[in-house]
Amino acid sequence: MGLIKKFRIKSFKSEETIVELKNTSVFYNKRQILNNLNLKVKKQEILGMLGPNGVGKSTIFNLITGLKNPNFGEVVIQGINVTNLPINERFTKFKLGLVPQYGGLIHDLSMLDNLKLVAEIHIRQRELREQKINKIVSQFEFEALLNIKAKHLSGGQKKKLVIAMALINDPKILLLDEPFAALDILTIRMLQEIILNLQSTEEISVVICDHQARDLLSCVDRAIILSNGKVIASGSPNEVISNQAAKTEYFGDEFNIN
């Protein structure tokens, strides 16, 4: 925790809301997944969403990107009601970046070709495109891996590649769906540093979810705890850990991060 903390922006201040879910409910068949859920992401914050498997974390990302429409309620991005706006328009208009829980790259292409593919979609001018790829390659230290097919990369390298691909478009809102799942401790530390560095160098808001509390809480400004379709606690990592509802429903009594 300490190691990571020193990278944090101390003067995080913005209270401006960049993404808001207003009274959103989602049903699959007759099963209710989200129940009148309210959530705000503030500009330039790193917001962590925690909750058990199946609680609806990926569903929340799907509501933000437009992959899923809520049965009730509204999705608002930068003050605009986007509930009926298609996915592609949301991505371009608001510069969304998504690192999905699974997949996100083309296995039979090399690392470099995966990067080029995304760059060609987003950046018209060849020179700018090459500059951007070079910047990302050096930032992520990809030099030795460029010609390896994605399917032969390790789990951590794949995850780094998908994050890098999401960053090519200089997103303003980056959504990371369980980026630490099944990775070793050193790779998790490296990804946490990448995320924190992004916040200090780019104007970016990050929403990150996980079902494991420890790794998530050490790299977020604020966290929300989800249970039974609702946000049951919200606050700084220390605040949510000591919240009684969050203890009862999610952390248990023994949990601490120090």
Ligand X SMILES: Nc1ncnc2c1ncn2[C@@H]1O[C@H](COP(=O)(O)OP(=O)(O)O)[C@@H](O)[C@H]1O
Which of residues 11, 53, 125, 201 is near ligand X by CB under 6 A?
53
* Min separation Cβ 83 and Mg ion, Å: 22
Cβ-based nearer residue to ligand X, 41 or 136: 41
Taking CB positions, which residue lies at the least distance from Mg ion?
Answer: 58
Which of residues 24, 44, 58, 205 is near ligand X by CB under 6 A?
58
Q: Which does 59 bind (CB under 5 to 8 A by kind): ligand X, Mg ion, none?
A: ligand X
27 binds ligand X (CB under 6 A): no
Cβ-based nearer residue to Mg ion, 99 or 145: 99
Q: Which does 70 bind (CB under 5 to 8 A by kind): ligand X, Mg ion, none?
A: none
Which of residues 24, 46, 47, 56 is near ligand X by CB under 6 A?
56
Token output for 27: 């049903």
| Greatest Cα-to-Cα distance within the chain, rounded to the nearest angstrom | 56
59 binds ligand X (CB under 6 A): yes
54 binds ligand X (CB under 6 A): yes
User: Beta 173-177 vs 205-210: how paired, if at all?
Assistant: parallel
Cβ-based nearer residue to Mg ion, 148 or 181: 181
Which of residues 44, 58, 199, 218 is near Mg ion by CB under 5 A?
58
Cβ-based nearer residue to ligand X, 54 or 155: 54
DSSP per residue, the chain? -HHHHTTS-TT-----EEEEEEEEEEEETTEEEEEEEEEEEETT-EEEEE--TTSSHHHHHHHHHTSS--SEEEEEETTEE-TTS-HHHHHHHHTEEEE-SS--S-TTSBHHHHHHHHHHHH--SHHHHHHHHHHHHHHTT-GGGTTSBGGGS-HHHHHHHHHHHHHTT--SEEEEESTTTT--HHHHHHHHHHHHHHHHHS--EEEEEES-HHHHHTT-SEEEEEETTEEEEEESHHHHHH-HHHIIIII-SS----
Contacts with ligand X by CB under 6 A: the residue count is 10
55 binds ligand X (CB under 6 A): yes
Cβ-based nearer residue to Mg ion, 44 or 104: 104
62 binds Mg ion (CB under 5 A): no
Cβ-based nearer residue to ligand X, 57 or 160: 57
Which residues of the shown chain bind ligand X in the complex (CB under 6 A)? 28, 33, 51, 53-59
